[in-house]
Chain A
Amino acid sequence: MATLAVRRAPLGGFSFENCKRNSILESEANKVGFSVPTARKTGTTICGVVFKDGIVLGADTRATEGMVVADKNCSKIHYISPNIYCCGAGTAADTEMTTQIISSNLELHALSTGRQPRVATANRMLKQMLFRYQGYIGAALVLGGVDCNGPHLYSIYPHGSTDKLPYVTMGSGSLAAMAVFEDRYKTGMEEEEAKQLVRDAIAAGIFNDLGSGSNIDLCVITKGNVDYIRPHDEANKKGVRHGELEGVQLTGDYRYKRGTTAVLSKVVNPLDLELLEETVQTMDTS
């Protein structure tokens, strides 16, 4: 007779049941020469800058899966609340889920307090969640927004540390973008100047880093207004395919010109056919 066991009430959240099995499978696979599939990363350039009236956030749009581009036009600027947006670098799923959870929590918090949420609140929530998981959630974020205390910009690292700065960059292309910022950043810039600076910083990341590419997305947040410009600049346009005219797809043409194949001889046999009966049957197109 089989023994029965008493089960402790299951908790929600992450389940570590398969970890041992997975590590054994991975070591077995490595012995034979296979490698375990990797998660999709966003090897990215994201950046943000504080200007006179608010914040400009910028991001590229390439998502990579190892050495292959997984998504040529993915959106890396995530909505947190009407006045707060967040760019995400690192593992794509982690940034997506984390920003969605924090967005929901902020909404509940705002309903509970009856006030517009502050950027510092979002920052605190994010850093506490990321620290709880000790960096296993690979989400490096640039959080920016305008609240009752003015514009704020934070950078949040996967292990849970945050920095509050006037200009930040994250991702694999962060060094290229930071070089542009360090050269040309000034306090109290105008909006157009700030947009151009962010565009140039992301372009530096796109052209000098393999993990970043495609287009440049911008998000301009000011008090009471958000401009989500996607795409702001198509820095890398795909070429036009033969048979495609300005984006309109022509069908592939496989017909060859007369005379491509040389004609050796030609024989014509007319068939004598007798017309017996001709009827016309109309379709019911009512």
Chain B
Amino acid sequence: MYSVPVAGLCPQGSYGIQDSLRSGFTSVKNELLPSHPLELSEKNFVLNQDKMNFSTLRNIQGLHAPLKLQMEYRAARQIQRLPFLQSSNLALDTLRGSDDTIGFEDILGDPAQSEMMGEPHMMVEYKLGLL
């Protein structure tokens, strides 16, 4: 859960082959480095922020505080719709305090408006661990 993922080594297009239109021609250098310096830091921003907040909380209040909060986070993360549908994450937002802030993640690239959807059967099987 807390590992920081790097760009995968497998081709990113559909059908498992290189999508030249979107990601350019293949080369090892392309795959290893992210396409933009901000890409990695943005992908992991919420994760890193939570990590920082929990460690500060642990230093101030002791181990019990982050443990209790993380339990609540796990509970809130389980309140979701079916895996291929977009859920509002309201409980999670309230816990994090981001229910009364607006950032670029609310304005640009709204997941509710995204043009692609995961294949329902595959997503459910993946979630249940049957894949």
**Residues of A at under 8 Å CB distance from B?**
2-7, 9-21, 23-24, 97, 101, 104-105, 108-109, 112, 129, 132-134, 136
Report the bound CA distance from A129 to B43 in whole Å. Answer: 15
Residues of B with C-beta under 8 A to A2: 14-15
11 contacts between A and B (CB under 8 A): A3-B15, A3-B16, A6-B119, A12-B108, A13-B42, A14-B108, A24-B25, A101-B102, A105-B102, A108-B100, A109-B100
Residues of A with C-beta under 8 A to B119: 4-6
Interface contact B39-A19, CB-CB below 8 Å: yes
B122 within 8 A of A: yes
Residues of B with C-beta under 8 A to A105: 101-102
Interface contact B122-A6, CB-CB below 8 Å: yes
* Centre residue among A3, A13, A23, A108 by max chain B CB count within 10 A: A13
Residues of B with C-beta under 8 A to A129: 103
Q: Which of B50-58, B59-67, B68-76, B109-117 contacts A (4 or more CB under 8 A)?
A: B109-117
**Residues of B at under 8 Å CB distance from A?**
14-16, 21-25, 30, 34-39, 41-43, 45, 84, 86, 100-111, 114, 116-119, 122-123, 126, 131
Interface contact A13-B24, CB-CB below 8 Å: no
The residue on A at minimum CB distance from B46 is: A11
Report the bound CA distance from A19 to B30 in whole Å. Answer: 11
CB distance from B34 to the nearest CB of A (A): 7
Interface contact A4-B122, CB-CB below 8 Å: yes
The residue on B at minimum CB distance from A2 is: B15
Interface contact B22-A21, CB-CB below 8 Å: yes
The residue on B at minimum CB distance from A21 is: B24
Given contacts A11-B105, A13-B108, contact A132 B45 (CB under 8 A): yes
CB distance from B23 to the nearest CB of A (A): 6
Interface contact A16-B36, CB-CB below 8 Å: yes
Interface contact A18-B100, CB-CB below 8 Å: no
9 nearest A-B residue pairs (beta carbon): A12-B105, A13-B105, A7-B118, A19-B35, A20-B35, A16-B39, A19-B36, A20-B24, A6-B126
Report the bound CA distance from A18 to B30 in whole Å. Answer: 13
Residues of A with C-beta under 8 A to B25: 24
